[in-house]
Amino acid sequence: MQRGWSVVQYLDFKRERDESTTSWVRADPVAALVERIAPTTYLVTLPGGSAHVVEYGKERGARVGGCDGKGFEFRDKEDSPCAHLCVLRKAEWSYNQFGDDAGYDVNGEPIVAHDTAEYVAPDATSTTPRRSGRSVRRALRTRRD
Ligand SMILES: [Zn+2]
């Protein structure tokens, strides 16, 4: 089975919180450095750690994500988020509850789970070059001239 950051997983943050897992406790959105680099992609650095590329978004109302770090690769369960994902979840909660600094990334952008469906490319058929009437019209004009 393919594991790692290329897999975007449904995540159970509630269980992390209820069980006060290491990932959950380690995740401090105030101490962490967060930068949103794409609609659903963040760069997350925990104190003393290296920067990780983290996918975080929403799919049909449920939170999904993945991380390129070892913590996610070797997670306990398929739907266990790593500390970097927990940082984003806590930051989003902070933003919604208090709107304080913990809820924003380094560029002052709110940290929220964006719906991944919003960023799916439009149907490929719509990009087919349309044989519009323009060339026909131009041809007619040319003939009239
Ligand atoms: Zn991670």
What 3-state class would DSSP assign to 125? Answer: helix
Distance 8 CA to ligand 1 centre (A): 12
pLDDT interval class at 141 (50, 70, 90): low
Tell me the pLDDT tens digit for each residue of 29-85: 999 999 999 999 999 999 999 999 999 999 999 999 999 999 999 998 999 999 999
What is the Å distance from ligand 1's center to 89 Cα? 12
Residue that wins the pLDDT comparison between 3 and 97: 97
Q: What is the pTM of this model?
A: 0.78
How far apart are the CA of 1 and the centre of ligand 1, in A? 19
What separation in Å is there between the alpha carbon of 54 and the centre of ligand 1? 7
| Cα→Cα distances 124→49, 120, 141, 143, Å | 41, 11, 33, 35
